[in-house]
Amino acid sequence: MSTETTTDQVPLQAWLPTMLALAAIWGCSFLFISVGVRELHPLYLALGRVIAGATVLLVILAIKREPLPRDPRLWMHSFVVGAAGSAIPWTLFGFGEERIPSLLAGIWNGITPLIVLPMAVLVFRTETFSAQRVAGLVVGFGGMLVVLGAWHVDGGADLLGQALCMLAAVSYGVVIPYQKRFVAGSSLSGTALSASMFLCATVQLAIVAPIVTGQAPPAPWSLSIEVIASVLALGALGSGLAFVLSMRNIRLIGASRASMVTYLMPVFSILVGVIVLHEHITWYQPVGGLVVLLGVAVSQGLLASLRRKPAVVATATTG
């Protein structure tokens, strides 16, 4: 007889440290994007990021002597994830941060779980709806309107920048349950899966970037040390290491709960934006961000779980 461990029964210490590390890495990535777009077109910044990330992961695979995927279907899914999880959102965030502060981009990233939930329930059928989750979505949507300042929006670069960052978060919200449905179940390591995604994204951006920009990428020696360091940090940490950690959490606790990392990311993006870049935002943007996070917490049942005693973790047994 055997008892399977569900995602709700995975012990906190198995995934929380990974989630905190991811929040710090990805929260700081908005700072690096803001620095990178000073000298690089957003498409070339995204290309540099996926190249650096793919290089790091391929080196890890070589050291561990692990192969890349061989299944054509898995490569097809990697192509989709590479586009929706890397090439598209990273380019959109780059364009967005040409217009708005990095910390505001980090706040917009917090809507990701609000997109993950309906996609996981309605499209990929990996989770189920409940009245509590619907209530959380409604609260979260209200928070999005507050962040946007919907009562006095008059267009312009700020509105466009926020819209671009919102679309980037939507792209993340689609790809997370897609990974859970089609990729995370593979027997391959997270390193191999992430490497295949970045290789696909590299091919995509290497084709699209010159066409859209009409020019070749700038020579590395023509860039400042700060920009080069930002690209390397985005690739090695925000892409290479972080995607391996993210895949681990998706496998452990599911797509919806794994996306809770975005609760914490705005904290780090705001701190580094204010301290390092001396950025400023209006009062309603962080307030709206808190409302979004409240909606996400409601939809995930976090508030209810705080009132319950921790459940006993089920372990696999035979007999």
- pLDDT tens by residue, 155-211: 555 888 989 999 999 998 888 888 878 887 788 887 888 899 999 999 999 999 999
Give the chain's mean pLDDT.
82
52-89, pLDDT tens digit by residue?
999 999 998 999 899 999 999 999 999 999 999 999 99
pLDDT value at residue 1: 40
Q: What share of the chain in percent tops pLDDT 70?
A: 86
Residue 91 has pLDDT above 90, yes or no: yes
Identify the residue with better confidence: 40 or 253: 40
> For residue 36, is pLDDT > 90?
yes
Q: What is the pLDDT of residue 310?
A: 45
Q: What is the pLDDT of residues 121-154, one digit of tens each?
A: 777 776 777 777 778 778 877 877 787 676 665 5
Q: What is the largest CA-CA distance in the chain?
A: 67
pLDDT of residue 307: 54
pLDDT attached to residue 141: 76
In this prediction the pTM is 0.80
Confidence of residue 287 (pLDDT cuts 50, 70, 90): confident
- Please give the average per-residue pLDDT across 19-33, as a whole number: 90
Tokens standing for residue 201: 């994204």
Tens of pLDDT along 288-314? 878 877 877 777 666 665 555 444 333
Quick one: pLDDT at residue 5? 44
